[in-house]
Amino acid sequence: MVHNKETEPEPLIYGCTRTASAVLTHFICIAFTAGIAVLSRPGSILGLAAIFYNKHLNGKPHFTSWHGLLGLLTVCVVVFQSLAALPLIYHSWAKGWSLAKLKRYHAATGLVMYLLGTASLLLGLSSAWFTGSVREYTWYLSALCPALAALFMMNQVSRAYMAKKRLQS
């Protein structure tokens, strides 16, 4: 049996199918990311409003714990991050800034936002109510999941954006 060393050209239908699949996957990822972004901003603001209203109804003081203060700061950073993303969409608004620099700053502030949210979540897990509601192993598992997700997120952002800056400098 003799094998031909030359590769046979791929049939046109396979190439078109592969390209269409890649384009469709890209659009699905963009739609998913945009959907998460569109739904999470109002959700965080509505959640803050519900907590504020509940505290008001029960006559309790607002933002007295580290969890509450960090949660408020996180929501403020979410609003800032959303507004700061507009020059990425409308690049003409950012005179004198390159698109690469804007993306790098957006990724860095997004990472800070994610880490603030994770820290607020971990402080919420440390509350007396939650620690009294779950067993020890469940608490450790509940704390480990967001902590590992934060480590993966930091790794992904630093590899994707910060490494490029070192190579360009």
Q: pTM of the full predicted structure?
A: 0.72
- C-alpha span between 162 and 66 (Å, rounded): 30
- Strand, coil or helix: what is 147? helix
- For range 140-168, the mean pLDDT: 83
Residue 71 exposed, middle or buried by CB count within 10 Å (0-12, 13-18, 19+): buried
Domain boundaries, the chain: 10-62, 63-169
Helices (H) and strands (E) in the chain, counts: 7, 0
The CA-based angle 37-63-125, given to 5 degrees, is 70
Backbone phi, psi, residue 35, to 5°: -65, -45
> For the chain, what percent of residues have pLDDT higher than 90?
28
- Is the pLDDT confidence value at 166 over 80? no
The percent helix, strand, coil of the chain (3-state, each to 5) is: 80, 0, 20
Mean pLDDT for all residues in the chain:
83
pLDDT in tens, 11-32: 666 666 777 777 788 778 778 8
Which has more pLDDT, 98 or 38? 98
**Amino acid at the residue 95:** K
pLDDT of residue 165: 55
Instruction: Give CA 168 to chain center in angstroms.
Output: 25
Q: Which of 11-20, 43-52, 57-66, 143-152 has the lowest mean pLDDT?
A: 11-20
**Is 130 or 34 the better-scoring residue by pLDDT?**
130
User: Is a pLDDT exceeding 60 seen at residue 35?
Assistant: yes
Give me the count of residues in the chain. Answer: 169
For residue 155 the two structure tokens come to: 């790794």
Question: Which one of 24-28, 99-103, 104-108, 143-147 scores highest in mean pLDDT?
Answer: 143-147
The Cα–Cα gap between 113 and 118 comes to 9
Which of 101 and 8 is assigned the larger pLDDT?
101
